[in-house]
Amino acid sequence: MIQDWNEDGKYVMGEVLVQTQVPFENFANLSTWLFFSTIIGWYCVSRIGWKRTTGVHSYRMGLLQLMLLGFTIICFYEVLWNFTILNAEITSHLVLSGTTPDIDALAVEYPDVLRPWNLIFATKVWLAGTIISGHAFYLSTKPRKTLEEMES
How many separate domains does the chain show? 1
pLDDT score, position 150: 64
In-domain check, residue 42:
no
Task: Read off the pLDDT band of 54 (50, 70, 90).
Answer: confident
H-run or E-run covering 112: strand 107-112
In-domain check, residue 87:
yes
Give the pTM: 0.87
- Short-list 18, 30, 37, CA closest to 117: 18
In-domain check, residue 18:
no
In-domain check, residue 22:
no
Mean pLDDT of the chain: 89
The answer to whether residue 144 scores a pLDDT higher than 80 is no
